[in-house]
């Protein structure tokens, strides 16, 4: 398996533009997380999906952020409109959770977003 695939690797956009980040989970994984990494705040959980359903979106900073998982093979994180303070590295991570057994989280390589 190619692992968790995120695209694009780098994104530079102007303030006010819409940005869409993409994630392809490892095949068979049923849980997906979006994280944001900044120097100031470290790694923050934005949203968690289980079986394509958003379970915990308490980390989504504001209404400008939205995330979807239309099927088990694809998720998007959208920012509209984008602001300079959204500049960060965004990670997607997926797991294959079975009951209460431990399930390792595998991370994509992240998308570095710069909003100018």
CB nearer to another protein: give 39 or 62.
39
Calpha distance 98→76 (Å, rounded) = 24
Residues 6+ apart with CB under 8 A from 49: 31, 32, 33, 55, 67, 69, 75
> Which residues sit at the interface with another protein, rule CB under 8 A?
31, 33, 42-43, 45, 48, 50, 55-56, 89, 91, 93, 95, 97, 99-100, 102-105, 107, 109-110, 112
Calpha distance 33→91 (Å, rounded) = 8
CB nearer to another protein: give 79 or 93.
93
Smallest separation, CB 77 to another protein (Å): 17
CB nearer to another protein: give 5 or 81.
5
CB nearer to another protein: give 65 or 91.
91
Task: Pull the structure tokens for residue 3.
Answer: 């692992």
Smallest separation, CB 84 to another protein (Å): 21
Task: Pull the structure tokens for residue 113.
Answer: 């977003």
């Amino acid at each position: 398996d190619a692992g968790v695939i995120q695209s694009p690797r780098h994104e530079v956009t102007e303030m006010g533009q819409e940005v869409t980040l993409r994630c392809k989970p490892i095949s068979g994984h049923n849980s997906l997380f979006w994280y944001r990494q900044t120097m100031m705040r470290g790694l923050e959980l934005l949203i968690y999906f289980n079986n394509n359903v958003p379970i915990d979106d308490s980390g989504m900073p504001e209404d400008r952020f939205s995330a979807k998982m239309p099927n088990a093979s694809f998720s998007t994180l959208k920012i509209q409109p984008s602001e300079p303070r959204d500049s960060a590295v965004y990670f997607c991570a997926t797991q294959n959770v079975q009951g209460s057994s431990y399930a390792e989280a595998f991370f994509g390589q992240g998308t570095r977003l710069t909003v100018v």
